Amino acid sequence: MAELLNMMRKAMETSGQSRYRISKETGIAESVLSRFMSGETALTVETVGRLAD
């Protein structure tokens, strides 16, 4: 999980995309992304797949 979190943070930093924008583009609730980014919860396989697309 830590590796995915680091990859996501780096991708957001380099692309300048916010959690809000990613949420709108993927259909993943911003609250889900926020809880993942803060380390509160893990992402489901389905959610990881949606991010990868």
User: Tens of pLDDT along 11-39?
Assistant: 999 999 999 999 999 999 999 999 999 99
CB atoms within 10 A of CB 53: 6
- In angstroms, the CA 15 to CA 35 distance is 21
Fold of 2-52: 434 Repressor (Amino-terminal Domain) (1.10.260)
pTM comes to: 0.84
What is the structure's pLDDT at 30? 96
Core vs surface per residue 9-41: b (16+ CB within 10 A) or e: eeebeeeeeebeebbeebebeeebbeebeeeee
What pLDDT was estimated at residue 53? 83
CA 21 to chain centre: 10
